[in-house]
């Protein structure tokens, strides 16, 4: 749980965009995963199996609460006193990061979900497909379409 708690919470938060709902979703998912362990296929990777349970639980909760407006994604605040950003972070100017986050916030929840899993959480394409509970090809095309819509949003006037 120590190993997967953070990513489970973040998957749930990407779906619900509500801290309490995300925490409840992740907690419920761990309990369900515990009882579902005998059905887990031992030749399969554990992380996407767990995260799929988390995402399903979060989607169910988001549907039941009919939550439309959640907290928006934000870039982390870096004060002058903070340590220097990593080379990777420095590679993208802060203004560009904020532009991308603002564009993500204007996407539909399903587009934001697939982009969030793949790029913000760093899941592989196969893991993203598992968590979305779709085939790999479907996940790739969903990601491609979501990226296209992100590009459209980026090019549209704010």
Partner 1 sequence: MSARIRSMSNDDLGGALATIDVDWPPSPELAPQVMARVSSDRPSRVVRLPLSRPKRILLIAAATVLLIAGAAVAAKIIIDLGAVVVEVTPNRPGVLPNPSIAPTGTPITLGEARTLLGEDVALPARLGRPDRVWADEVFTDAGEVPRVTIAWRPRPGLPRISDTRYGAVLMVFEGDANQASKDLFQDTGVLEVETVDGVDYYWTRGTHLLQLLTGDGIVYVRVDGNVLLWRDGPHTMRLETALSKAEALRIATSSGTS
* Binding region for partner 1 (CB under 8 A): 1-6, 8-10, 13, 19, 22-23, 26-27, 30-31, 34-35, 37-38, 40-43, 46, 71, 73-78, 85, 88-89, 91-93, 95-97, 99-101, 104, 115, 118-120, 122, 144, 147-148, 150-151, 154-155
In whole angstroms, the minimum distance from the beta carbon of 71 to partner 1 comes to: 7
Q: Look at the block and give the residue holding tokens 């973040």.
A: 10
State in angstroms the smallest separation of the CB of 23 from partner 1.
Answer: 5
Write the DSSP symbol of residue 3.
T
Q: What are the two backbone dihedrals, phi and then psi, of residue 26, each rounded to the nearest 5 degrees? A: -65, -40
How near is the Cβ of 130 to partner 1 at its closest, in Å?
17
b/e string for 114-125 if b means 16 or more Cβ within 10 A?
A: bbbbbeebebee
């Amino acid at each position: 749980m120590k190993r997967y708690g953070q990513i489970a919470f973040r998957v749930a938060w990407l779906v619900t965009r509500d801290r309490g709902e995300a925490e409840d979703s992740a907690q419920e998912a761990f309990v369900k995963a515990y009882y579902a362990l005998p059905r887990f296929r031992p030749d399969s990777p554990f992380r996407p199996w767990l995260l799929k349970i988390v995402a399903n639980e979060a989607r169910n909760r988001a549907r039941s609460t009919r939550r439309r407006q959640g907290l928006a994604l934000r870039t982390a605040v870096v004060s002058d006193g903070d340590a220097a950003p990593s080379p990777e972070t420095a590679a993208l100017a802060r203004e560009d990061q904020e532009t991308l986050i603002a564009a993500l916030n204007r996407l539909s929840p399903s587009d934001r979900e697939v982009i969030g899993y793949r790029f913000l959480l760093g899941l592989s394409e196969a893991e993203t497909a598992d968590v979305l509970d779709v085939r790999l090809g479907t996940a790739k095309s969903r990601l491609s379409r979501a990226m296209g819509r992100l590009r459209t949003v980026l090019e549209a006037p704010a």
